[in-house]
Amino acid sequence: MRWQDGRESENVEDRRGAPGSGGFRTGGIGIPIGRGGIGIGGLAVIVVVSLLLGINPLDLLQGTAPQDQARYEQSDAPRGGGPDNRDDELKRFVSVVLADTEDTWAAQFQQLGRTYQDPALVLFSGTVDSGCGFAQAAMGPFYCPQDRKVYIDLSFYRDLRDRFRAPGDFAQAYVIAHEVGHHVQNLLGISDRVQQAQRQAGSQAEANGLSVRLELQADCFAGLWANHANRERQIIEPGDVEEALTAASAIGDDRLQRQSRGTVTPDSFTHGSSTQRVQWFRTGLERGELNACDTFRADRL
Ligand SMILES: [Zn+2]
């Protein structure tokens, strides 16, 4: 992927090396959590602090469900690891990709007669306090609609490469573009409507089906970003599209379920199968327009 000359976004918040920092109400208690993430001791600290503050630690995990959190729970993602040179390069990469999504979506929203509001992207290591509660690196990247921020522990990229066998920078960009896709859904009111429909759904399978459509749309939006970024800035190099498709395929529900349980239960899918994810990313990439991504209208996914 040709990204080196791209503009860097100003909306990246680097919270690495400061697990659970920021908004968490520890107000300068100065918990000695070292770099490299939180182990069992760290979790105990969270529980103790929660108890001290009279907060049920479980409450920290509840609230409005963030998109994609707990997605990769079964993963033994390598924890934290302080920022190093390689990670600084990654940070620059993430900033450029984020800036690119900003340009793409600003133009798309303008066509709709609306103004795009940039999301923030938070880099963390180990754990993080988000507007949607506490999150751990092992849960994978996610978008929190409450604070309109994308959260990512860069160790996920090692996971993507080694555990999911989806290496390459364009695969990494796809992950960001997918989460930004959830932000777009939030701004357009799609997420709200889906949540409402899920509350009224007659069965869990029906609610899951809506979740799949939401996820596939985020994949399509990621493809749409790739289309525009390439048209405007020629970022795609040979092999890039395959990288993204490999990533989309690697994190399909069927593949993940087979890996973790050995069997596949389509009704329990919340993100779509590998084939579906690939297909919708490709649709966005080839068509490059919003109304190509109406996964809610589509009879067949
Ligand atoms: Zn998602």
pLDDT digits (tens, 9 = 90+) for 174-198: 999 999 999 999 999 999 999 999 9
Using one digit for the tens of pLDDT, what is the confidence trace for 39-64? 444 444 444 444 444 444 444 444 45
Could you tell me which residues are beta bridge partners of residue 59? none
**Separation of 41 CA from ligand 1 center, angstroms?**
31
- Give the domain ranges of the chain: 40-49+84-292
**Separation of 143 CA from ligand 1 center, angstroms?**
8
Asked whether residue 293 carries a pLDDT value surpassing 80, the answer given is yes
The sign of the torsion formed by the CA atoms of 227, 231, 236, 237 equals positive
CA gap 175, 142 in Å, rounded: 9
**Separation of 141 CA from ligand 1 center, angstroms?**
9
CA gap 259, 59 in Å, rounded: 30
pLDDT band for position 265 (cuts 50, 70, 90): confident
Asked whether residue 23 carries a pLDDT value surpassing 50, the answer given is no
**Separation of 278 CA from ligand 1 center, angstroms?**
14
CA gap 29, 48 in Å, rounded: 12
Could you tell me which residues are beta bridge partners of residue 67? 143
Write phi, then psi, for 124 (nearest 5 degrees).
-140, 170
Using one digit for the tens of pLDDT, what is the confidence trace for 118-163? 999 999 999 999 999 988 887 788 899 999 999 999 888 888 888 8
**Separation of 217 CA from ligand 1 center, angstroms?**
9
Q: Using an 8 Å Cβ cutoff, are 221 and 284 in contact?
A: yes
Among candidate residues 154, 141, 292, the one with its CA nearest the CA of residue 216: 292
Using one digit for the tens of pLDDT, what is the confidence trace for 71-103? 543 333 344 444 456 778 889 999 999 999 999
Kindly list the strands in the beta sheet with 120-124, ordered across the sheet, starting from the edge strand earlier in the chain: 12-15, 120-124, 149-153, 142-144
pLDDT band for position 34 (cuts 50, 70, 90): very low
CA gap 47, 137 in Å, rounded: 18
DSSP 59: G
- Please tell me the pTM assigned to this model: 0.78
**Separation of 203 CA from ligand 1 center, angstroms?**
21
CA distances for 188 relative to 115, 258, 284, 296, angstroms:
11, 34, 17, 14
**Separation of 54 CA from ligand 1 center, angstroms?**
33
**Separation of 95 CA from ligand 1 center, angstroms?**
20
pLDDT band for position 19 (cuts 50, 70, 90): low
The DSSP code sequence of 191-209 is: HHHHHHHHHT-SSHHHHHH
CA distances for 201 relative to 71, 205, 266, 274, angstroms:
22, 9, 17, 25
Asked whether residue 229 carries a pLDDT value surpassing 80, the answer given is yes
pLDDT band for position 287 (cuts 50, 70, 90): very high
Asked whether residue 112 carries a pLDDT value surpassing 80, the answer given is yes
CA gap 30, 289 in Å, rounded: 48
**Separation of 257 CA from ligand 1 center, angstroms?**
16
List of residues 6+ apart from 49 with CB closer than 8 A:
26, 29, 31
